[in-house]
C-alpha cells in the first residue's frame, strides 16, 4: 500500500512539473486546514533556504486561491484573483532568490486569508438573505477562521472589539448551523460587525 501511494505521488508530481497537470487541477483536494499547512511548510522551507520547495508550496497556495475564485461570489472574485496573482509572483521571486525578507511572505499569506474571509462573509450574507441558515452558518464560521489566520500571519494584535466580534460570529454560526433560535436584527448586526472587522484588518495589512 505504501509503495502504491508513493508511486501515485511521484506520478502526480511528474505531471505537474512537466506541465501536463497544473496545481489548480489538484487544488480541489485542499481544505482550510491543508492550505494552512501549505503556508506553514512554505515558510519553513524558506527559512531553511530550500527555495525550490518553498516556491512549490506557495504555488500550491496560489492554486488553492484560484480554485476558490472559481466558486466565489461575484463580489469576492476580485480580491481572490489579486491574491492568487500576488502568490504566483511571490513563488517566482522566491524561486529566483530575490525575496530577502520573511515579512513579505507572511504579509502575502495574511492578504490571502483576508480575501478568503471577505468572500466567505459575502456568501454568509447572501445565504442569510436567501434564508439558507445552515449555509450562512458554515460561511460565517469560515469567515472567522480565515480572519484569525490572517491576524496570525500578519503578526497583528487582535483588539478587544475584534475579539468580541469574532466570538459573537462563532456563536451565531453555531446557532445557524444547528438551526437554533435567532433574531433577524441581531444576525444583521453581527454580520455587519464582522464586515467592519474585515475592512479594518484590510486597511492594516495593505500598503498605502
Give the pLDDT confidence of 131-170 residue by residue, as tens digits: 999 999 999 999 999 999 999 999 988 999 999 999 999 9
Whether residue 15 is contained in a domain is answered as: no
Q: 48: part of which helix (H) or strand (E)?
A: none
Using CB atoms within 10 A of its CB, is residue 7 exposed (0-12), middle (13-18) or buried (19+)?
exposed
Whether the pLDDT of residue 71 is over 60: the answer is yes
**CA distance linking residue 107 with residue 80, whole number of Å:** 15
Whether residue 18 is contained in a domain is answered as: no
Whether residue 182 is contained in a domain is answered as: yes
Q: What pLDDT score does 180 carry?
A: 67
Q: How many domains in the chain?
A: 1
Number of residues that make up the chain: 208
Whether residue 1 is contained in a domain is answered as: no
Confidence of residue 49 (pLDDT cuts 50, 70, 90): very high
Contacts of residue 39, defined as CB under 8 A and 6 or more positions apart, other chains included, come to 57, 61, 109, 112, 153
Residue 76, helix vs strand vs coil:
coil
Q: What pLDDT score does 207 carry?
A: 67
Q: What pLDDT score does 179 carry?
A: 74
Grid cell in block for residue 156: 497583528
Q: 204: part of which helix (H) or strand (E)?
A: helix 184-205
Q: What pLDDT score does 30 carry?
A: 53
Q: DSSP code of 183?
A: -
Helices (H) and strands (E) in the chain, counts: 9, 0
Q: What pLDDT score does 20 carry?
A: 41
**CA distance linking residue 137 with residue 81, whole number of Å:** 25
Q: What residue numbers bound the domain in which 152 lies?
A: 23-205
Whether residue 101 is contained in a domain is answered as: yes
Amino acid at each position: 500500500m505504501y509503495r502504491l501511494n508513493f508511486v501515485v505521488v511521484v506520478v502526480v508530481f511528474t505531471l505537474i512539473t512537466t506541465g501536463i497537470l497544473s496545481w489548480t487541477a489538484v487544488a480541489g483536494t485542499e481544505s482550510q486546514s491543508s492550505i494552512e499547512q501549505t503556508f506553514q511548510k512554505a515558510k519553513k522551507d524558506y527559512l531553511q533556504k530550500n527555495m525550490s520547495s518553498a516556491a512549490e508550496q506557495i504555488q500550491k497556495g496560489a492554486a488553492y486561491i484560484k480554485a476558490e475564485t472559481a466558486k466565489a461570489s461575484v463580489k469576492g472574485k476580485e480580491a481572490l484573483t489579486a491574491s492568487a496573482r500576488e502568490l504566483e509572483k511571490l513563488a517566482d521571486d522566491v524561486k529566483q532568490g530575490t525575496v530577502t525578507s520573511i515579512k513579505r511572505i507572511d504579509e502575502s499569506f495574511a492578504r490571502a486569508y483576508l480575501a478568503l474571509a471577505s468572500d466567505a462573509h459575502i456568501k454568509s450574507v447572501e445565504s442569510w438573505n436567501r434564508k439558507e441558515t445552515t449555509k450562512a452558518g458554515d460561511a460565517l464560521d469560515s469567515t472567522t477562521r480565515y480572519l484569525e489566520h490572517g491576524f496570525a500571519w500578519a503578526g497583528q494584535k487582535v483588539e478587544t472589539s475584534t475579539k468580541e466580534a469574532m466570538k459573537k460570529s462563532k456563536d451565531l454560526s453555531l446557532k445557524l448551523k444547528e438551526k437554533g433560535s435567532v433574531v433577524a436584527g441581531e444576525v444583521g448586526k453581527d454580520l455587519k460587525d464582522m464586515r467592519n472587522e474585515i475592512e479594518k484588518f484590510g486597511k492594516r495589512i495593505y500598503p498605502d
